[in-house]
Structures are given as structure tokens and as C-alpha cells.
């Protein structure tokens, strides 16, 4: 069984940064990622608030971080962590490819897209229902589409799809957006249609999406579309942490102190899985703090 000082679970911005700081602190470190590096940041059409970049695509930024971090630490992609257990004052990390002993673990497992939970959503997932405009937007070029949501991500996706030539309708359940003012002004300038006080009740189609049923203050209507992009927030990937006994808040996010320590000894957490301000720059900072905390605790 391979021995490490530090294992980082998840290779989003937080996990990659934690891996780099772990090695630079002198810890034998390994990063394990169930998919590909970058996490949901790969799906951001455009990031305009990461220092050093006027604007940069999410996938491009994630690639640059990976390229830099890989000079220091090994990132093993497509290796899913299935369990973490304490054994003889160490932690045993079991994956779908093997087992590792480690002195400390950083959980940076990120979040996943929240679903609408309406009729037709599962049936048409990948057949017109998408959770990533960057991934799937090209297939709907010059077609009518709708984006559901009112936060920063939803507005960015609407703007991205508009640039592709899609005829975009933004569907929001309230009468004002939660997105930052700068993005709201860009949305107004782009002339994106907004359906206020509206919720999706059903997604309809045959082999692919054809329309959605909207409820607007008790009045139902049908909107013809070729694609529906759902951007209503995220849920934490904290199931693995919960199985270990890591404390979670009421929404399922991992609870940490200001040094990214959890309630379990030598178990830390960083990035979006801890909730709070879910931004790439914050995730990187938390990853660095978690690694430095692990180093100090292992001295």
C-alpha cells in the first residue's frame, strides 16, 4: 500500500493549489480526481474577475493551473475515491484503482449542478436539457433556447449563448436578478429576453426538447425552444466526507475553521464544498491555507 504525507481529493482549483502548496512545503503529496482536472470551472464560458486576466475561459484557466501545478505534484485523473478510513493513526484512502496510506487528507470535492426536479428533466437530459452552455451551446447555434436562473452563472450562460447566435430567453422565478450589477448591465445591452416571476413546470418534446411549460404567477404558458440550460446553483459533493464523520452544515457543505480544518484530526477541506463565496480565486486561497495547515499539524 502506497504511503503519502498528504492526499488531496479533487482536482478543481482548490485541490490543484493544495497539491502544489503541499509539495512546496515538503510533504509527499498526491492529488486524486474522479474525472478531469478543473471541476465546474471548466464550464464557465468566461471569467472576468480572476486577478491577472482581463477575461479568460474557464477551461483555459483550469488548464493553465493544471500545467503549472503538475510541475510540482502528480494529479491522477479518472481515479474515484470510494472511502477514507482511519487506521493505526493514519488514514486509508480507497479508490476504484487501489489503496493509499496517508497522514492527512484535504477534501476539495467541489459541487454539482442542482436539478430542477420537474417532469421531463431526466428524460431529456442530453437531448436538449443541459447544465453547461460551454459544453453544449454550439449545438443550438441560431436556435431558440432558454436559460433558467438569476445568478452570475445563469447570466453568463445567457450572454455566451447569445454570442453564439442563439435566441435566448432567461427564465427567473423572481422579479429581479441576483447576478452582480456589471453582468446585469451586459444582459440589458445584449437585449436578452427575460421572463420574470416564472418557473418551469414541465419540459416537453418527443425525441428532443420542443418546449417548456411555464407558470407565471399562476398563469401557465408554453414556450417553444430547442434547448434548456439549467443554471440554478450547485449542491456540495460531500457524501464521502459525511461517511467519514466530517461535520456538515444544514445545506450539506463541509464546516471548517479559518485554517480549513474540519472536526476530524488531520482532515481538511477547501473550495466550493465548504460553501461561502464560491469563486475560483477563493478556492485557490483555501487550497493553499489547507495545505499549509496540514504541514503545520504534521510537523
Does the annotation mark 132 as catalytic? yes
User: Contact at 8 Å (CB) between 145 and 161?
Assistant: yes
Cα distance between the two ends of the chain: 23
CA–CA gap between residue 147 and residue 154 (Å, rounded)? 7
Q: Where are the alpha helices (DSSP H) in 148-279?
A: 152-163, 181-190, 239-244
Measured in whole angstroms, the distance separating CA 196 from the mean position of its chain's CA atoms is 26
Exposed, middle or buried: residue 29 (CB in 10 Å: 0-12, 13-18, 19+)? buried
Active-site residue (options: 5, 54, 136, 249): 136
Among candidates 243, 237, 242, which has minimal Cα distance to 270? Answer: 237
How far are the Cα atoms of 123, 139, 211 from residue 223, in angstroms, in the given order?
Answer: 18, 19, 5
CA–CA gap between residue 266 and residue 246 (Å, rounded)? 11
Active-site residue (options: 5, 54, 96, 132): 132
CB atoms within 10 A of CB 32: 24
Among candidates 296, 272, 189, which has minimal Cα distance to 15? Answer: 272
Among candidates 245, 256, 244, which has minimal Cα distance to 283? Answer: 256
Does the annotation mark 284 as catalytic? no
CA–CA gap between residue 46 and residue 58 (Å, rounded)? 6
Question: Beta-strand (E) ranges in 149-242?
Answer: 167-171, 193-195, 198-205, 209-216, 219-224, 227-230, 234-236
> Phi-psi bin for 38: left (phi > 0), alpha (psi -120 to 50), beta?
left
Catalytic residue numbers? 132, 135-136
Amino acid at each position: 500500500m502506497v504511503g503519502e504525507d498528504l492526499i488531496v481529493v479533487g482536482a478543481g482549483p482548490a485541490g490543484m493549489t493544495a497539491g502544489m502548496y503541499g509539495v512546496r512545503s515538503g510533504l509527499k503529496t498526491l492529488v486524486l480526481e474522479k474525472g478531469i482536472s478543473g471541476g465546474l470551472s471548466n464550464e464557465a464560458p468566461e471569467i472576468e474577475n480572476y486577478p491577472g486576466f482581463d477575461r479568460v475561459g474557464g477551461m483555459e484557466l483550469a488548464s493553465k493551473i493544471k500545467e503549472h501545478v503538475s510541475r510540482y505534484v502528480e494529479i491522477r485523473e479518472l481515479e474515484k475515491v470510494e472511502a477514507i478510513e482511519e487506521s493505526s493513526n493514519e488514514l486509508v484512502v480507497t479508490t476504484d484503482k487501489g489503496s493509499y496510506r496517508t497522514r492527512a487528507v484535504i477534501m476539495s470535492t467541489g459541487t454539482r449542478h442542482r436539478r430542477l426536479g420537474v417532469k421531463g428533466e431526466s428524460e431529456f437530459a442530453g437531448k436538449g436539457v443541459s447544465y453547461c452552455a460551454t459544453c453544449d451551446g454550439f449545438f443550438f447555434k441560431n436556435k431558440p433556447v432558454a436559460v433558467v436562473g438569476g445568478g452570475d452563472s445563469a447570466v453568463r450562460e445567457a450572454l455566451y449563448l447569445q454570442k453564439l447566435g442563439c435566441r435566448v430567453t432567461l427564465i427567473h422565478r423572481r422579479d429581479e436578478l441576483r447576478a452582480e450589477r456589471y453582468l446585469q448591465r451586459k444582459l440589458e445591452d445584449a437585449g436578452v429576453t427575460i421572463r420574470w416571476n416564472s418557473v418551469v413546470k414541465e419540459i416537453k418534446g418527443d425525441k428532443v426538447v420542443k418546449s417548456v411549460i411555464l407558470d407565471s404567477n399562476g398563469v401557465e404558458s408554453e414556450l417553444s425552444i430547442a434547448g434548456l440550460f439549467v443554471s440554478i446553483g450547485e449542491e456540495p459533493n460531500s457524501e464521502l466526507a459525511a461517511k467519514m464523520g466530517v461535520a456538515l452544515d444544514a445545506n450539506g457543505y463541509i464546516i471548517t475553521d479559518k485554517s480549513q480544518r474540519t472536526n476530524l484530526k488531520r482532515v481538511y477541506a477547501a473550495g466550493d464544498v465548504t460553501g461561502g463565496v464560491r469563486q475560483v480565486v477563493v478556492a485557490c486561497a483555501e487550497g493553499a491555507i489547507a495545505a499549509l495547515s496540514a504541514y503545520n499539524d504534521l510537523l
